[in-house]
Structure 1
Amino acid sequence: MRSCPLPQMLRKYIAPGWLLIAPFLLLLLALYFGPILNILWLSFTDPTPGLENYEKLITSDSLARIIWTTVRVCLLTTGFSVLIGYCIAYAMVHANQKKQNAMLALLLISFWISVLVRTFSWLMLLGTNGLLNNSLEALNIISEPIAFVRNELGVLIGMVHYMVPYAVLPLLANMQGLDTRVIQASRNLGATGGQTFRKVYLPLTKPGLVASSLLVFILSLGFYVTPAILGGGKVLMVAEYISVQLLVTLKWGTAAMLAALMLFGVMALLYIMSRFMKLSTAFGGASS
Protein backbone atom coordinates (compact mmCIF):
# COMPACT_ATOMS: atom_id res chain seq x y z
CA MET A 1 0.00 0.00 0.00
CA ARG A 2 1.47 3.35 -1.10
CA SER A 3 1.87 5.90 1.69
CA CYS A 4 0.03 9.20 1.47
CA PRO A 5 2.32 12.20 0.77
CA LEU A 6 2.66 14.66 3.62
CA PRO A 7 0.99 17.62 1.80
CA GLN A 8 -2.08 15.47 1.10
CA MET A 9 -2.24 14.44 4.76
CA LEU A 10 -2.05 18.07 5.82
CA ARG A 11 -4.84 19.02 3.41
CA LYS A 12 -6.92 16.18 4.81
CA TYR A 13 -6.81 17.43 8.40
CA ILE A 14 -6.06 21.15 8.00
CA ALA A 15 -8.02 23.59 5.86
CA PRO A 16 -5.95 25.31 3.13
CA GLY A 17 -6.70 28.72 4.64
CA TRP A 18 -4.82 27.82 7.80
CA LEU A 19 -1.74 26.89 5.78
CA LEU A 20 -1.74 30.39 4.24
CA ILE A 21 -1.84 32.20 7.57
CA ALA A 22 0.37 29.71 9.45
CA PRO A 23 3.62 31.73 8.99
CA PHE A 24 1.97 34.92 10.22
CA LEU A 25 0.36 33.07 13.12
CA LEU A 26 3.69 31.57 14.16
CA LEU A 27 5.31 35.02 13.94
CA LEU A 28 2.54 36.49 16.09
CA LEU A 29 2.92 33.75 18.68
CA ALA A 30 6.68 34.28 18.77
CA LEU A 31 6.31 38.04 19.21
CA TYR A 32 3.69 37.54 21.93
CA PHE A 33 5.09 34.67 23.94
CA GLY A 34 8.75 35.59 23.45
CA PRO A 35 8.67 38.64 25.74
CA ILE A 36 6.55 36.77 28.29
CA LEU A 37 9.02 33.89 28.44
CA ASN A 38 11.85 36.40 28.72
CA ILE A 39 10.14 38.06 31.70
CA LEU A 40 9.70 34.69 33.39
CA TRP A 41 13.35 33.86 32.71
CA LEU A 42 14.54 37.16 34.20
CA SER A 43 12.42 36.66 37.30
CA PHE A 44 14.39 33.49 38.08
CA THR A 45 17.87 34.45 36.85
CA ASP A 46 18.43 38.17 37.59
CA PRO A 47 20.61 39.06 39.47
CA THR A 48 21.44 35.42 40.32
CA PRO A 49 19.69 32.15 39.39
CA GLY A 50 17.18 30.98 41.99
CA LEU A 51 14.11 32.11 43.88
CA GLU A 52 15.71 35.21 45.38
CA ASN A 53 13.25 37.59 43.73
CA TYR A 54 10.23 35.60 44.84
CA GLU A 55 11.56 35.41 48.39
CA LYS A 56 11.14 39.19 48.57
CA LEU A 57 7.37 38.66 48.64
CA ILE A 58 7.87 37.24 52.13
CA THR A 59 10.94 39.06 53.42
CA SER A 60 10.41 42.62 52.10
CA ASP A 61 8.01 44.73 54.17
CA SER A 62 7.99 47.55 51.62
CA LEU A 63 7.05 45.18 48.79
CA ALA A 64 4.30 43.62 50.89
CA ARG A 65 2.97 47.10 51.66
CA ILE A 66 2.92 48.04 47.97
CA ILE A 67 1.08 44.85 47.06
CA TRP A 68 -1.45 45.39 49.86
CA THR A 69 -1.97 49.00 48.75
CA THR A 70 -2.59 47.80 45.19
CA VAL A 71 -5.07 45.12 46.27
CA ARG A 72 -6.88 47.49 48.64
CA VAL A 73 -7.22 50.27 46.06
CA CYS A 74 -8.35 47.80 43.38
CA LEU A 75 -10.95 46.26 45.70
CA LEU A 76 -12.36 49.67 46.63
CA THR A 77 -12.36 50.73 42.99
CA THR A 78 -14.16 47.52 42.05
CA GLY A 79 -16.79 47.94 44.77
CA PHE A 80 -17.68 51.54 43.91
CA SER A 81 -17.46 51.01 40.14
CA VAL A 82 -19.73 47.95 40.17
CA LEU A 83 -22.25 49.68 42.47
CA ILE A 84 -22.45 52.74 40.22
CA GLY A 85 -22.35 50.58 37.09
CA TYR A 86 -25.21 48.42 38.35
CA CYS A 87 -27.39 51.49 38.84
CA ILE A 88 -26.54 52.79 35.37
CA ALA A 89 -27.14 49.42 33.69
CA TYR A 90 -30.44 49.00 35.55
CA ALA A 91 -31.57 52.46 34.43
CA MET A 92 -30.55 51.76 30.82
CA VAL A 93 -32.42 48.46 30.66
CA HIS A 94 -35.64 49.99 32.01
CA ALA A 95 -35.47 53.21 29.95
CA ASN A 96 -37.23 53.71 26.63
CA GLN A 97 -35.27 53.21 23.42
CA LYS A 98 -34.51 56.90 22.90
CA LYS A 99 -33.12 57.42 26.39
CA GLN A 100 -31.27 54.11 26.22
CA ASN A 101 -29.51 55.17 23.01
CA ALA A 102 -28.56 58.50 24.57
CA MET A 103 -27.15 56.81 27.68
CA LEU A 104 -25.25 54.30 25.55
CA ALA A 105 -23.78 57.13 23.48
CA LEU A 106 -22.56 58.90 26.61
CA LEU A 107 -21.09 55.63 27.83
CA LEU A 108 -19.20 55.08 24.58
CA ILE A 109 -17.93 58.67 24.51
CA SER A 110 -16.20 58.05 27.82
CA PHE A 111 -14.10 55.34 26.12
CA TRP A 112 -12.77 57.86 23.61
CA ILE A 113 -11.38 60.23 26.25
CA SER A 114 -7.74 59.58 27.10
CA VAL A 115 -6.97 58.43 30.63
CA LEU A 116 -4.31 61.15 30.78
CA VAL A 117 -6.87 63.84 29.92
CA ARG A 118 -9.28 62.51 32.54
CA THR A 119 -6.58 62.39 35.20
CA PHE A 120 -5.39 65.95 34.62
CA SER A 121 -9.02 67.11 34.56
CA TRP A 122 -9.55 65.65 38.02
CA LEU A 123 -6.30 67.21 39.18
CA MET A 124 -7.50 70.64 38.04
CA LEU A 125 -10.90 70.07 39.60
CA LEU A 126 -9.83 68.61 42.95
CA GLY A 127 -6.46 70.30 43.49
CA THR A 128 -5.67 72.72 46.29
CA ASN A 129 -6.50 75.65 44.01
CA GLY A 130 -8.98 73.63 41.97
CA LEU A 131 -12.53 74.51 41.09
CA LEU A 132 -14.08 72.48 43.91
CA ASN A 133 -11.94 73.89 46.73
CA ASN A 134 -12.24 77.45 45.41
CA SER A 135 -16.02 77.12 45.18
CA LEU A 136 -16.32 75.74 48.72
CA GLU A 137 -14.11 78.53 50.07
CA ALA A 138 -16.10 81.16 48.18
CA LEU A 139 -19.30 79.83 49.78
CA ASN A 140 -17.61 79.88 53.22
CA ILE A 141 -18.23 76.17 53.63
CA ILE A 142 -14.55 75.48 54.34
CA SER A 143 -11.80 77.72 55.70
CA GLU A 144 -8.89 75.90 54.09
CA PRO A 145 -8.53 73.59 51.06
CA ILE A 146 -9.43 69.92 51.46
CA ALA A 147 -6.82 67.38 50.34
CA PHE A 148 -8.75 65.58 47.61
CA VAL A 149 -5.60 64.60 45.67
CA ARG A 150 -2.11 63.30 46.48
CA ASN A 151 -3.75 60.57 48.55
CA GLU A 152 -5.84 57.41 48.09
CA LEU A 153 -9.05 59.44 47.84
CA GLY A 154 -7.89 61.16 44.67
CA VAL A 155 -6.65 57.88 43.20
CA LEU A 156 -9.99 56.21 43.93
CA ILE A 157 -11.98 59.05 42.36
CA GLY A 158 -9.90 58.92 39.17
CA MET A 159 -9.92 55.13 38.92
CA VAL A 160 -13.65 54.77 39.62
CA HIS A 161 -14.44 57.41 37.01
CA TYR A 162 -12.42 55.48 34.43
CA MET A 163 -13.70 52.00 35.37
CA VAL A 164 -17.47 52.65 35.58
CA PRO A 165 -18.05 52.11 31.81
CA TYR A 166 -16.23 48.77 32.02
CA ALA A 167 -18.46 47.78 34.92
CA VAL A 168 -21.59 48.67 32.96
CA LEU A 169 -20.87 46.51 29.89
CA PRO A 170 -21.13 42.99 31.39
CA LEU A 171 -23.99 44.05 33.67
CA LEU A 172 -25.91 45.51 30.74
CA ALA A 173 -25.36 42.37 28.65
CA ASN A 174 -26.57 40.21 31.54
CA MET A 175 -29.66 42.32 32.29
CA GLN A 176 -30.71 42.48 28.65
CA GLY A 177 -30.68 38.68 28.51
CA LEU A 178 -33.04 38.19 31.46
CA ASP A 179 -36.51 36.77 30.90
CA THR A 180 -38.87 39.58 31.90
CA ARG A 181 -41.71 37.08 32.34
CA VAL A 182 -40.03 35.84 35.53
CA ILE A 183 -40.11 39.36 36.95
CA GLN A 184 -43.74 39.81 35.94
CA ALA A 185 -44.66 36.45 37.48
CA SER A 186 -43.15 37.54 40.78
CA ARG A 187 -45.21 40.73 40.79
CA ASN A 188 -48.37 38.84 39.82
CA LEU A 189 -47.85 36.48 42.77
CA GLY A 190 -48.00 39.41 45.18
CA ALA A 191 -44.34 40.27 45.70
CA THR A 192 -43.51 43.92 46.20
CA GLY A 193 -41.01 45.74 44.03
CA GLY A 194 -38.33 45.43 46.69
CA GLN A 195 -38.97 41.72 47.20
CA THR A 196 -38.91 41.08 43.47
CA PHE A 197 -35.61 42.88 43.12
CA ARG A 198 -34.00 41.23 46.15
CA LYS A 199 -35.20 37.66 45.65
CA VAL A 200 -35.57 37.41 41.86
CA TYR A 201 -33.80 40.16 39.90
CA LEU A 202 -30.60 40.41 41.94
CA PRO A 203 -29.88 36.64 41.94
CA LEU A 204 -30.48 36.52 38.18
CA THR A 205 -27.85 39.23 37.66
CA LYS A 206 -25.25 37.41 39.77
CA PRO A 207 -23.22 36.24 36.71
CA GLY A 208 -23.06 39.82 35.47
CA LEU A 209 -21.98 41.06 38.89
CA VAL A 210 -19.20 38.48 39.08
CA ALA A 211 -17.99 39.19 35.54
CA SER A 212 -18.16 42.95 36.09
CA SER A 213 -16.26 42.75 39.38
CA LEU A 214 -13.51 40.56 37.95
CA LEU A 215 -13.17 42.69 34.83
CA VAL A 216 -12.84 45.92 36.80
CA PHE A 217 -10.42 44.37 39.28
CA ILE A 218 -8.21 42.95 36.52
CA LEU A 219 -8.03 46.25 34.66
CA SER A 220 -7.41 48.16 37.90
CA LEU A 221 -4.32 46.08 38.67
CA GLY A 222 -2.44 47.62 35.77
CA PHE A 223 -3.23 51.29 36.50
CA TYR A 224 -0.18 53.51 36.23
CA VAL A 225 -1.03 57.06 35.10
CA THR A 226 -3.87 57.76 37.53
CA PRO A 227 -2.10 56.68 40.76
CA ALA A 228 1.11 58.42 39.65
CA ILE A 229 -0.60 61.78 39.03
CA LEU A 230 -3.48 61.86 41.52
CA GLY A 231 -1.49 59.97 44.15
CA GLY A 232 1.41 62.39 43.88
CA GLY A 233 3.94 59.68 44.72
CA LYS A 234 2.22 58.92 48.03
CA VAL A 235 0.12 56.02 46.71
CA LEU A 236 2.61 53.60 45.18
CA MET A 237 1.01 50.70 43.32
CA VAL A 238 2.58 47.67 41.64
CA ALA A 239 2.56 49.05 38.09
CA GLU A 240 4.36 52.23 39.14
CA TYR A 241 6.77 50.25 41.31
CA ILE A 242 7.66 48.03 38.33
CA SER A 243 8.44 51.18 36.34
CA VAL A 244 10.72 52.43 39.14
CA GLN A 245 12.56 49.08 39.26
CA LEU A 246 13.11 49.14 35.49
CA LEU A 247 14.04 52.79 34.94
CA VAL A 248 15.53 53.99 38.22
CA THR A 249 16.98 51.18 40.33
CA LEU A 250 17.59 48.85 37.34
CA LYS A 251 16.45 45.81 39.32
CA TRP A 252 15.02 43.94 36.35
CA GLY A 253 14.63 40.69 38.26
CA THR A 254 12.32 42.27 40.84
CA ALA A 255 10.32 43.99 38.11
CA ALA A 256 10.06 40.73 36.14
CA MET A 257 8.93 38.86 39.27
CA LEU A 258 6.14 41.37 39.93
CA ALA A 259 5.12 41.33 36.27
CA ALA A 260 4.96 37.53 36.33
CA LEU A 261 2.94 37.65 39.54
CA MET A 262 0.44 40.03 37.95
CA LEU A 263 0.32 37.93 34.77
CA PHE A 264 -0.58 34.70 36.55
CA GLY A 265 -2.99 36.55 38.83
CA VAL A 266 -4.83 38.00 35.84
CA MET A 267 -4.92 34.62 34.10
CA ALA A 268 -6.45 33.04 37.21
CA LEU A 269 -9.08 35.78 37.44
CA LEU A 270 -9.91 35.46 33.74
CA TYR A 271 -10.40 31.73 34.22
CA ILE A 272 -12.78 32.40 37.10
CA MET A 273 -14.64 34.94 34.96
CA SER A 274 -14.99 32.41 32.13
CA ARG A 275 -16.81 30.07 34.53
CA PHE A 276 -19.58 32.65 34.98
CA MET A 277 -19.70 34.43 31.64
CA LYS A 278 -18.31 34.34 28.11
CA LEU A 279 -15.21 36.54 27.97
CA SER A 280 -16.39 38.12 24.73
CA THR A 281 -19.61 39.16 26.49
CA ALA A 282 -17.70 40.64 29.40
CA PHE A 283 -15.81 42.86 26.98
CA GLY A 284 -18.99 44.05 25.29
CA GLY A 285 -19.51 41.33 22.69
CA ALA A 286 -22.65 39.42 21.86
CA SER A 287 -24.04 37.19 24.58
CA SER A 288 -25.26 34.49 22.22
Structure 2
Amino acid sequence: MFRNSDKMRYWALILPALAIMVTFYIFPVLGIWEIAFTEPTTGVGNFVQMAESSAVRTSFILTFRVAAITTLGCLILGYVVAYAISNFAGKLTPLMLALVILPFWVSVLIRSFSWIVLLGRSGLVNDTLRDTGLIDSPLRLMHNEFGVLVAMIHVMLPFAILPMLTNMRGISDAYVKAARGLGASEWTAFRQVYFPQTVPGVMSGALLVFVLSLGFYVTPALLGGGRVLMISEYITYQIQEFLNWGLGSALSVALLIATALVLLIAARFVNLRSALLERK
Protein backbone atom coordinates (compact mmCIF):
# COMPACT_ATOMS: atom_id res chain seq x y z
CA MET A 1 0.00 0.00 0.00
CA PHE A 2 1.16 3.53 -0.79
CA ARG A 3 1.83 5.90 2.06
CA ASN A 4 0.27 9.35 1.77
CA SER A 5 3.59 10.90 0.75
CA ASP A 6 4.08 8.21 -1.89
CA LYS A 7 0.59 8.83 -3.25
CA MET A 8 1.26 12.56 -3.47
CA ARG A 9 4.49 12.01 -5.38
CA TYR A 10 2.73 9.49 -7.65
CA TRP A 11 -0.07 11.89 -8.56
CA ALA A 12 2.38 14.77 -8.89
CA LEU A 13 4.05 12.79 -11.67
CA ILE A 14 0.84 11.48 -13.27
CA LEU A 15 -1.41 14.56 -13.27
CA PRO A 16 0.65 16.76 -15.65
CA ALA A 17 0.87 13.99 -18.23
CA LEU A 18 -2.81 13.19 -17.75
CA ALA A 19 -3.76 16.85 -18.18
CA ILE A 20 -1.76 17.08 -21.42
CA MET A 21 -3.36 13.87 -22.71
CA VAL A 22 -6.88 15.09 -21.93
CA THR A 23 -6.30 18.59 -23.34
CA PHE A 24 -4.47 17.75 -26.54
CA TYR A 25 -5.87 14.28 -27.36
CA ILE A 26 -9.09 13.31 -25.59
CA PHE A 27 -10.93 16.63 -26.12
CA PRO A 28 -10.05 16.88 -29.85
CA VAL A 29 -11.09 13.26 -30.43
CA LEU A 30 -14.39 13.85 -28.61
CA GLY A 31 -14.87 16.95 -30.77
CA ILE A 32 -14.45 14.85 -33.92
CA TRP A 33 -17.04 12.37 -32.64
CA GLU A 34 -19.44 15.23 -31.91
CA ILE A 35 -19.07 16.68 -35.42
CA ALA A 36 -19.57 13.23 -36.97
CA PHE A 37 -22.97 12.90 -35.30
CA THR A 38 -24.17 16.53 -35.52
CA GLU A 39 -23.01 17.97 -38.88
CA PRO A 40 -24.91 18.84 -40.98
CA THR A 41 -27.81 17.20 -39.10
CA THR A 42 -28.02 15.24 -35.87
CA GLY A 43 -27.94 11.47 -36.29
CA VAL A 44 -26.03 8.76 -38.10
CA GLY A 45 -26.57 10.18 -41.58
CA ASN A 46 -22.85 10.66 -42.17
CA PHE A 47 -22.14 7.03 -41.33
CA VAL A 48 -24.97 5.85 -43.60
CA GLN A 49 -23.56 7.96 -46.44
CA MET A 50 -20.10 6.55 -45.74
CA ALA A 51 -21.37 2.95 -45.77
CA GLU A 52 -23.23 3.46 -49.05
CA SER A 53 -20.31 5.11 -50.84
CA SER A 54 -18.32 2.82 -53.14
CA ALA A 55 -15.50 5.40 -53.19
CA VAL A 56 -15.16 5.15 -49.41
CA ARG A 57 -15.11 1.35 -49.53
CA THR A 58 -12.47 1.42 -52.26
CA SER A 59 -10.38 3.88 -50.25
CA PHE A 60 -10.54 1.71 -47.12
CA ILE A 61 -9.60 -1.43 -49.07
CA LEU A 62 -6.70 0.41 -50.69
CA THR A 63 -5.56 1.76 -47.33
CA PHE A 64 -5.50 -1.66 -45.69
CA ARG A 65 -3.82 -3.25 -48.72
CA VAL A 66 -1.05 -0.63 -48.84
CA ALA A 67 -0.58 -0.87 -45.07
CA ALA A 68 -0.36 -4.68 -45.21
CA ILE A 69 2.12 -4.75 -48.10
CA THR A 70 4.18 -1.99 -46.48
CA THR A 71 4.26 -3.98 -43.23
CA LEU A 72 5.33 -7.17 -45.01
CA GLY A 73 8.08 -5.36 -46.93
CA CYS A 74 9.35 -3.64 -43.79
CA LEU A 75 9.40 -6.91 -41.85
CA ILE A 76 11.38 -8.76 -44.53
CA LEU A 77 13.95 -6.00 -45.08
CA GLY A 78 13.99 -4.96 -41.43
CA TYR A 79 14.57 -8.50 -40.18
CA VAL A 80 17.60 -8.89 -42.45
CA VAL A 81 19.06 -5.56 -41.32
CA ALA A 82 18.35 -6.18 -37.61
CA TYR A 83 19.80 -9.70 -37.83
CA ALA A 84 22.95 -8.43 -39.55
CA ILE A 85 23.47 -5.66 -36.98
CA SER A 86 22.79 -7.95 -34.04
CA ASN A 87 24.96 -10.87 -35.14
CA PHE A 88 27.56 -9.71 -37.66
CA ALA A 89 28.17 -5.96 -37.37
CA GLY A 90 30.81 -6.14 -34.64
CA LYS A 91 32.70 -2.84 -34.43
CA LEU A 92 30.44 -1.39 -37.13
CA THR A 93 27.36 -1.67 -34.90
CA PRO A 94 27.36 2.03 -33.84
CA LEU A 95 27.70 3.15 -37.46
CA MET A 96 24.91 0.87 -38.65
CA LEU A 97 22.66 1.99 -35.79
CA ALA A 98 23.34 5.59 -36.73
CA LEU A 99 22.36 4.86 -40.34
CA VAL A 100 19.10 3.29 -39.15
CA ILE A 101 18.27 6.25 -36.89
CA LEU A 102 19.46 8.91 -39.38
CA PRO A 103 16.12 9.09 -41.30
CA PHE A 104 14.40 10.29 -38.11
CA TRP A 105 16.49 13.48 -38.38
CA VAL A 106 15.17 14.20 -41.87
CA SER A 107 11.63 15.42 -42.49
CA VAL A 108 9.19 12.90 -43.95
CA LEU A 109 8.31 15.55 -46.53
CA ILE A 110 11.93 15.78 -47.71
CA ARG A 111 12.27 12.00 -47.86
CA SER A 112 9.09 11.77 -49.91
CA PHE A 113 10.26 14.50 -52.31
CA SER A 114 13.54 12.63 -52.75
CA TRP A 115 11.57 9.66 -54.11
CA ILE A 116 9.85 11.99 -56.58
CA VAL A 117 13.31 12.99 -57.81
CA LEU A 118 14.31 9.33 -58.11
CA LEU A 119 11.13 7.86 -59.61
CA GLY A 120 9.90 10.72 -61.85
CA ARG A 121 9.73 10.42 -65.64
CA SER A 122 13.00 12.34 -65.84
CA GLY A 123 14.25 11.00 -62.54
CA LEU A 124 17.48 9.22 -61.76
CA VAL A 125 16.05 5.71 -62.16
CA ASN A 126 14.45 6.31 -65.56
CA ASP A 127 17.47 8.24 -66.85
CA THR A 128 19.81 5.44 -65.79
CA LEU A 129 17.66 2.76 -67.42
CA ARG A 130 17.47 4.75 -70.67
CA ASP A 131 21.20 5.48 -70.68
CA THR A 132 21.95 1.76 -70.34
CA GLY A 133 19.53 0.90 -73.14
CA LEU A 134 17.19 -1.19 -70.98
CA ILE A 135 14.14 0.96 -71.81
CA ASP A 136 13.17 3.26 -74.68
CA SER A 137 10.53 5.33 -72.91
CA PRO A 138 10.21 6.32 -69.23
CA LEU A 139 8.55 3.85 -66.89
CA ARG A 140 5.64 5.01 -64.76
CA LEU A 141 7.19 4.54 -61.33
CA MET A 142 5.16 7.09 -59.36
CA HIS A 143 1.62 8.42 -59.16
CA ASN A 144 0.59 4.80 -58.72
CA GLU A 145 0.53 2.18 -55.99
CA PHE A 146 4.07 1.02 -56.76
CA GLY A 147 5.57 4.43 -56.03
CA VAL A 148 3.55 4.77 -52.84
CA LEU A 149 4.69 1.35 -51.61
CA VAL A 150 8.37 1.99 -52.33
CA ALA A 151 8.33 5.32 -50.49
CA MET A 152 6.17 3.99 -47.63
CA ILE A 153 8.51 1.05 -47.02
CA HIS A 154 11.47 3.43 -46.98
CA VAL A 155 9.81 5.78 -44.48
CA MET A 156 8.49 3.02 -42.20
CA LEU A 157 11.53 0.73 -42.26
CA PRO A 158 13.24 2.15 -39.12
CA PHE A 159 10.01 1.56 -37.14
CA ALA A 160 10.34 -2.15 -37.98
CA ILE A 161 14.10 -2.44 -37.51
CA LEU A 162 14.39 -0.92 -34.04
CA PRO A 163 11.89 -3.19 -32.17
CA MET A 164 13.32 -6.30 -33.83
CA LEU A 165 16.88 -5.20 -33.11
CA THR A 166 16.05 -4.56 -29.45
CA ASN A 167 14.57 -8.04 -29.23
CA MET A 168 17.46 -9.75 -31.02
CA ARG A 169 20.13 -8.10 -28.87
CA GLY A 170 18.50 -9.68 -25.82
CA ILE A 171 18.81 -13.22 -27.20
CA SER A 172 21.78 -15.23 -25.98
CA ASP A 173 23.76 -16.99 -28.70
CA ALA A 174 24.19 -19.94 -26.34
CA TYR A 175 20.88 -21.41 -27.52
CA VAL A 176 21.94 -21.55 -31.16
CA LYS A 177 25.39 -22.86 -30.24
CA ALA A 178 23.77 -25.61 -28.17
CA ALA A 179 21.52 -26.58 -31.09
CA ARG A 180 24.49 -26.66 -33.47
CA GLY A 181 26.43 -28.73 -30.95
CA LEU A 182 23.60 -31.27 -30.86
CA GLY A 183 23.80 -31.71 -34.62
CA ALA A 184 21.30 -29.20 -35.97
CA SER A 185 22.15 -27.50 -39.24
CA GLU A 186 22.56 -23.73 -39.35
CA TRP A 187 19.14 -23.32 -41.00
CA THR A 188 17.44 -25.69 -38.54
CA ALA A 189 18.99 -23.90 -35.55
CA PHE A 190 17.81 -20.57 -36.94
CA ARG A 191 14.28 -21.78 -37.77
CA GLN A 192 13.59 -23.78 -34.60
CA VAL A 193 15.69 -22.01 -31.97
CA TYR A 194 16.51 -18.43 -32.97
CA PHE A 195 13.49 -17.26 -34.95
CA PRO A 196 10.83 -18.22 -32.34
CA GLN A 197 12.62 -16.00 -29.82
CA THR A 198 12.40 -13.04 -32.21
CA VAL A 199 8.63 -13.30 -32.69
CA PRO A 200 7.83 -10.64 -30.01
CA GLY A 201 10.08 -8.17 -31.83
CA VAL A 202 8.57 -9.09 -35.19
CA MET A 203 5.04 -8.59 -33.88
CA SER A 204 5.98 -5.31 -32.25
CA GLY A 205 7.43 -4.01 -35.50
CA ALA A 206 4.48 -5.31 -37.53
CA LEU A 207 1.89 -3.63 -35.30
CA LEU A 208 3.80 -0.37 -35.19
CA VAL A 209 4.28 -0.18 -38.97
CA PHE A 210 0.74 -1.31 -39.80
CA VAL A 211 -1.00 1.12 -37.44
CA LEU A 212 1.16 4.04 -38.55
CA SER A 213 0.61 3.16 -42.22
CA LEU A 214 -3.18 3.18 -41.81
CA GLY A 215 -3.23 6.88 -41.03
CA PHE A 216 -0.21 8.03 -43.03
CA TYR A 217 -0.80 11.04 -45.25
CA VAL A 218 2.26 12.87 -46.64
CA THR A 219 3.96 10.10 -48.60
CA PRO A 220 0.80 8.61 -50.24
CA ALA A 221 -0.39 12.11 -51.16
CA LEU A 222 2.89 13.05 -52.86
CA LEU A 223 3.79 9.75 -54.52
CA GLY A 224 0.19 8.82 -55.31
CA GLY A 225 -0.51 12.09 -57.09
CA GLY A 226 -4.22 11.87 -56.27
CA ARG A 227 -4.52 8.48 -57.98
CA VAL A 228 -3.84 6.38 -54.86
CA LEU A 229 -6.45 7.84 -52.54
CA MET A 230 -5.86 6.40 -49.09
CA ILE A 231 -8.38 7.15 -46.38
CA SER A 232 -6.32 9.93 -44.74
CA GLU A 233 -6.13 11.81 -48.04
CA TYR A 234 -9.84 11.17 -48.63
CA ILE A 235 -10.60 12.77 -45.27
CA THR A 236 -8.48 15.78 -46.21
CA TYR A 237 -10.40 16.22 -49.48
CA GLN A 238 -13.75 16.05 -47.70
CA ILE A 239 -12.78 18.72 -45.15
CA GLN A 240 -10.56 21.07 -47.15
CA GLU A 241 -11.97 20.82 -50.67
CA PHE A 242 -15.67 20.09 -50.08
CA LEU A 243 -16.00 21.56 -46.54
CA ASN A 244 -17.89 18.38 -45.62
CA TRP A 245 -16.89 18.29 -41.97
CA GLY A 246 -19.54 15.75 -41.04
CA LEU A 247 -18.45 13.06 -43.50
CA GLY A 248 -14.77 13.82 -42.92
CA SER A 249 -15.24 13.40 -39.17
CA ALA A 250 -17.24 10.20 -39.68
CA LEU A 251 -14.38 8.82 -41.78
CA SER A 252 -11.93 9.77 -39.02
CA VAL A 253 -14.06 7.95 -36.46
CA ALA A 254 -14.26 4.89 -38.73
CA LEU A 255 -10.47 4.89 -39.16
CA LEU A 256 -9.99 5.17 -35.40
CA ILE A 257 -12.38 2.26 -34.80
CA ALA A 258 -10.70 0.20 -37.54
CA THR A 259 -7.31 0.76 -35.92
CA ALA A 260 -8.68 -0.25 -32.52
CA LEU A 261 -10.16 -3.41 -34.06
CA VAL A 262 -6.78 -4.29 -35.56
CA LEU A 263 -5.23 -4.09 -32.11
CA LEU A 264 -8.05 -6.12 -30.55
CA ILE A 265 -7.73 -8.83 -33.20
CA ALA A 266 -3.96 -8.90 -32.72
CA ALA A 267 -4.49 -9.24 -28.97
CA ARG A 268 -6.45 -12.45 -29.60
CA PHE A 269 -3.36 -14.12 -31.05
CA VAL A 270 -0.44 -12.24 -29.53
CA ASN A 271 0.44 -11.03 -26.06
CA LEU A 272 0.57 -7.32 -26.86
CA ARG A 273 2.25 -6.55 -23.56
CA SER A 274 5.22 -8.75 -24.41
CA ALA A 275 5.18 -7.63 -28.04
CA LEU A 276 5.16 -3.90 -27.42
CA LEU A 277 7.53 -3.77 -24.46
CA GLU A 278 11.25 -4.15 -24.75
CA ARG A 279 12.67 -7.58 -24.06
CA LYS A 280 14.32 -7.67 -20.66
Same-fold call, TM cutoff 0.5: yes
Between the aligned partners of 1:102 and 1:141, the Cα distance in structure 2 is: 35
1:146 aligns with 2:139: yes
1:4-24 alpha-carbon deviations (Å, 9 max, x no partner)? xxxxxx957831563597478
1:113 aligns with 2:113: no
Match of 1:72 in 2: 65
Q: Is the 8 A contact 1:77 1:160 kept in 2?
A: yes
Aligned partner (choices 38, 46, 60) of residue 53 of structure 1: 46
Gaps of 5+ in 2: none
Between the aligned partners of 1:71 and 1:47, the Cα distance in structure 2 is: 29
1:193-219 alpha-carbon deviations (Å, 9 max, x no partner)? 111112222222111111111110011
**RMSD of the alignment, in Å?**
2.3
1:222-258 alpha-carbon deviations (Å, 9 max, x no partner)? 2111111111110001111111111111111111112
Between the aligned partners of 1:37 and 1:239, the Cα distance in structure 2 is: 18
Between the aligned partners of 1:189 and 1:252, the Cα distance in structure 2 is: 65
Q: Is the 8 A contact 1:56 1:63 kept in 2?
A: no
1:199 aligns with 2:225: no
Match of 1:276 in 2: 272
Are the structure 2 counterparts of residues 21 and 155 from structure 1 closer, same or farther at C-alpha, using a change threshold of 3 Å? closer
Q: Equivalences for 1:167-182 in 2 at 5 Å? A: 167-182=160-175
Between the aligned partners of 2:71 and 2:10, the Cα distance in structure 1 is: 43
Between stretches 51-60 and 140-149, larger displacement belongs to: 51-60
Query: Radius of gyration: which is bigger?
Result: 1
Q: Equivalences for 1:198-277 in 2 at 5 Å? A: 198-270=191-263, 272=266, 275-277=271-273
Match of 1:5 in 2: none
Q: Is the 8 A contact 1:81 1:163 kept in 2?
A: yes
Report the number of matched residues. 275
Between the aligned partners of 2:27 and 2:20, the Cα distance in structure 1 is: 10
SS of residue matched to 1:14: helix
Are the structure 2 counterparts of residues 83 and 28 from structure 1 closer, same or farther at C-alpha, using a change threshold of 3 Å? closer
1:113-150 alpha-carbon deviations (Å, 9 max, x no partner)? 11111111111111001111111111111010000011
Q: Is the 8 A contact 2:200 2:274 kept in 1?
A: no
Q: CA deviation at 1:275?
A: 2.5
Code of the aligned partner of 1:275: N
1:84-118 alpha-carbon deviations (Å, 9 max, x no partner)? 00000000111243211111010111111111111
Aligned partner (choices 79, 92, 112) of residue 86 of structure 1: 79
Match of 1:128 in 2: 121
Code of the aligned partner of 2:191: R
Between the aligned partners of 2:218 and 2:25, the Cα distance in structure 1 is: 24
SS of residue matched to 1:143: coil
Are the structure 2 counterparts of residues 190 and 252 from structure 1 closer, same or farther at C-alpha, using a change threshold of 3 Å? same
Between the aligned partners of 2:139 and 2:13, the Cα distance in structure 1 is: 62
Are the structure 2 counterparts of residues 277 and 175 from structure 1 closer, same or farther at C-alpha, using a change threshold of 3 Å? farther
Code of the aligned partner of 1:82: L
Between the aligned partners of 1:43 and 1:15, the Cα distance in structure 2 is: 39
Between the aligned partners of 1:86 and 1:24, the Cα distance in structure 2 is: 34
- Share of identical aligned residues, percent? 40
SS of residue matched to 2:171: coil
SS of residue matched to 2:88: coil
SS of residue matched to 1:32: helix
Q: 4+ runs of 1 displaced by more than 6 Å?
A: none
Q: CA deviation at 1:78?
A: 0.6
Are the structure 2 counterparts of residues 162 and 16 from structure 1 closer, same or farther at C-alpha, using a change threshold of 3 Å? closer
Between the aligned partners of 2:210 and 2:236, the Cα distance in structure 1 is: 20
Q: What TM-score, normalized by structure 2, do the two folds share?
A: 0.90
Between stretches 80-89 and 258-267, larger displacement belongs to: 258-267
